[in-house]
């Protein structure tokens, strides 16, 4: 009798395919239908996010699921292919789960994380400013003071996504001593309770459904149960590459969606579109190359060598450059069809711009790669 031996690798292969199929199904149906409403009318798609969570879109990269970053990126790609905003929410949600798990804080790792990973509760990330601070680009906006049992935090952040009353996000504050001198940084899970003021943001040109708010904190208490890392810097050094690498799923998906739009009109407009450059075959070749590099990097997402970090930054920067090119090309290929406000090529132009400017933006990525590439010399 022939039997097929079910190995752990095979099991994980099957579950990988199942997760990706379920996520793709949601993306191609309810998410594709809602994309314009999300982008333009500000619909925050928590219903769809819940379904994606149930399908396993937000758990693959966690250690408890074998740290399958490749699958997490593939899921984000499948989501972003139909809606860049939801792709971004996926990234926010993914890194928030990663902070919680990597914190080693039992209070953040049990049921709280189970619910988060399954899309039963929601939370994002507020690390744009601290990441730029650590790269020497900005000053830290949140300030903390040590008090009994934890810290008191004050300050304001201009825009934090995937939060709302009752939700949460990972945040970092600079700790100051009584004499006013800077001591170190802490990272914590900021819970959007009544102590947190959420301020409406001005209208953005797109991606309105990402539930992006200004945050103001006054004497906000952070207890030990909500501490992710103290001090924060070694923690950030550890998760930095993984944080950036995960973002590449957005670029891959929006770019693939752009190629879809080009191919969609090929039977009708191919005879004139042949005169355009950045044709679908060229774009697809570059996308495949990028995808392969990213999947290779996804094997060791916690590597901390300088060379690895440069490779990740390079992939993220290339993704941003590429998605700008692909979305622009899709609009040119579709012509007036794609210029209508509610069409995908028009929306993807805005999504691509977002991928290019969200932290780390192209300019920050290049700044950081240049900094890392410089030969060190004695002072």
Partner 1 sequence: MSQAQWEQFICRACGLIYDEQAGDPDSGIAPGTKFADIPDDWVCPLCGVVKADFEPYDHAVPETTVATAAQVFARGLGAVIVGAGHAGWAVAEALRVLSPELPITLVTSCQGDRYLKPELSIAMSRGYTRDAIVQESGREAAQRLSVRLLAETFVVGLTPSLHQLRTTRGTVRYTSLVLAMGAQPAALSVLPSRLCWRINELSAWSALHHKLSTGPKRIVIVGAGMVGCELADDFVRSGHQVVLLDLAPRPMAALIPVEASERLRLGLEQAGARFVGSIHVASVTEVQDGSKIVTTQCDQTFQADEVVAATGLVTDPRIPMGAGLAFERGIAVDPKTLRTSAPEVYALGDCVSIEGAPCRFIEPISKQANAIAHAILNIEYSGYAHTQPVIRLKTKSMPLVLHGLPLAEGEWETELDSPDLLKMHQSSLGQVVATLEVGQLAGRKRV
Query: Does position 310 bind partner 1 by CB under 8 A?
Result: yes
The answer to whether 77 and 28 are in contact (CB under 8 A) is no
Task: Report whether the peptide linkage leading into residue 220 is cis, meaning its omega lies within 30 degrees of zero.
Answer: no
The answer to whether 303 and 236 are in contact (CB under 8 A) is no
Query: Does position 275 bind partner 1 by CB under 8 A?
Result: no
| Minimal distance, residue 334 CB to partner 1, in Å | 24
Residues, the chain, total? 379
CA atoms of 238 and 229, how far apart (whole Å): 11
The answer to whether 264 and 331 are in contact (CB under 8 A) is no
- The residue whose two tokens read 């600079």 is 174
Residues 316-335: x/- map of binding to partner 1 (CB under 8 A)? -xx--x--------------
What DSSP string describes 131-188?
HHHHTTSS----EEEEETTEEEEEEEEEEE-S--TT-EEEEEEEEE-TTS-EEEEEEE
Instruction: Give the tokens for residue 49.
Output: 């996010």
CA atoms of 101 and 370, how far apart (whole Å): 31
Query: Does position 369 bind partner 1 by CB under 8 A?
Result: yes
CA atoms of 138 and 47, how far apart (whole Å): 36
| Minimal distance, residue 377 CB to partner 1, in Å | 6
Q: Which of 30, 295, 314, 332 binds partner 1 (CB under 8 A)?
A: 314
Alpha-carbon Rg of the chain, whole angstroms?
Answer: 21
Tell me whether residue 23 or residue 255 sits nearer to partner 1 (CB atom): 255
Tell me whether residue 125 or residue 247 sits nearer to partner 1 (CB atom): 247
Residues 6-45: x/- map of binding to partner 1 (CB under 8 A)? ----------------------------------------
Query: Does position 291 bind partner 1 by CB under 8 A?
Result: no
The answer to whether 265 and 276 are in contact (CB under 8 A) is no
Tell me whether residue 139 or residue 374 sits nearer to partner 1 (CB atom): 374
What is the DSSP pairing of strand 143-147 with strand 150-160?
Answer: antiparallel
How far does CA 324 lie from the centroid of its chain? 17
Could you tell me which stretch among 148-156, 172-180, 330-338, 361-369 binds partner 1 (CB under 8 A)? 361-369
| Minimal distance, residue 321 CB to partner 1, in Å | 6
- The residue whose two tokens read 């031996």 is 5
Query: Does position 370 bind partner 1 by CB under 8 A?
Result: yes
Query: What are the backbone angles phi and psi of residue 122, rounded to the nearest 5°?
Result: -130, 145
Q: Which of 54, 260, 286, 303 binds partner 1 (CB under 8 A)?
A: 286
Query: Does position 129 bind partner 1 by CB under 8 A?
Result: no
| Minimal distance, residue 296 CB to partner 1, in Å | 10
CA atoms of 372 and 302, how far apart (whole Å): 18
Query: Does position 281 bind partner 1 by CB under 8 A?
Result: no
How far does CA 34 lie from the centroid of its chain? 20
What is the DSSP pairing of strand 168-176 with strand 123-125?
Answer: parallel
Q: Which of 313, 330, 344, 356 binds partner 1 (CB under 8 A)?
A: 313
Tell me whether residue 233 or residue 366 sits nearer to partner 1 (CB atom): 366
Bridge partner list, 151:
146, 222
Query: Does position 377 bind partner 1 by CB under 8 A?
Result: yes
Tell me whether residue 217 or residue 356 sits nearer to partner 1 (CB atom): 356
Q: Which of 120, 199, 289, 342 binds partner 1 (CB under 8 A)?
A: 289
Question: Any idea what the Cα angle at residue 25 is, between residues 24 and 28, rounded to 5°?
Answer: 80
Tell me whether residue 338 or residue 360 sits nearer to partner 1 (CB atom): 360
Residues 78-117: x/- map of binding to partner 1 (CB under 8 A)? ----------------------------------------
Tell me whether residue 50 or residue 310 sits nearer to partner 1 (CB atom): 310
| Minimal distance, residue 305 CB to partner 1, in Å | 10
Binding residues for partner 1 (CB under 8 A): 285-286, 289, 307, 310-311, 313-314, 317-318, 321, 366-367, 369-370, 373-379
């Amino acid at each position: 009798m022939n039997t097929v031996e079910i190995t752990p690798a095979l099991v994980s292969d099957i579950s990988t395919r199942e997760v990706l199929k379920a996520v793709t199904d949601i993306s191609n149906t309810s998410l594709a239908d809602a994309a314009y409403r999300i982008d333009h009318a500000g619909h925050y798609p928590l219903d769809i996010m819940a379904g994606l969570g149930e399908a396993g879109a937000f758990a693959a990269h966690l250690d408890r699921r074998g740290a399958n970053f490749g699958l997490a990126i593939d899921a984000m790609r499948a989501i972003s292919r139909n809606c860049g905003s939801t792709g971004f929410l996926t990234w926010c949600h993914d890194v928030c789960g990663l902070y919680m798990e990597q914190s080693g804080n039992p209070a953040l790792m049990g049921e709280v994380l189970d619910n988060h990973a399954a899309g039963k509760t929601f939370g994002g990330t507020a690390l744009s400013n601290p990441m730029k601070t650590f790269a020497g680009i900005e000053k830290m906006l949140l300030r903390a003071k040590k008090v009994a049992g934890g810290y008191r935090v004050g300050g304001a952040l201009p825009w934090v996504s995937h939060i709302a009353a009752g939700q949460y996000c990972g945040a970092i504050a600079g700790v100051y001593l009584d004499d006013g001198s800077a001591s170190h940084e802490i990272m914590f899970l900021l819970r959007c309770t009544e102590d947190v003021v959420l301020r409406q943001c001005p209208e953005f040109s797109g991606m309105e459904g990402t539930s992006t708010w200004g945050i103001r904190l006054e004497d906000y208490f952070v207890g030990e149960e909500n501490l992710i890392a103290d001090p924060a810097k070694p923690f950030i050094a550890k998760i930095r590459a993984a944080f950036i690498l995960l973002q590449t799923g957005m670029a891959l998906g929006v770019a693939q969606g752009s190629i879809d739009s080009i191919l969609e009109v090929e039977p009708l407009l191919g005879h004139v579109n042949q005169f355009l450059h950045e044709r679908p075959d060229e774009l697809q070749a570059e996308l495949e190359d990028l995808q392969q590099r990213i999947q290779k990097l996804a094997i060791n997402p916690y590597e901390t060598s300088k060379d690895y970090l440069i490779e990740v930054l390079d992939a993220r920067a290339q993704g941003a450059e590429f998605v700008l090119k692909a979305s622009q090309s899709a609009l040119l290929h579709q012509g007036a069809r794609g210029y209508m406000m509610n069409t995908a090529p028009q929306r993807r132009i805005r999504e691509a711009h977002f991928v290019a400017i969200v932290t780390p933006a192209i300019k920050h990525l290049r700044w950081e790669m240049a900094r890392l590439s410089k030969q060190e010399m004695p002072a």
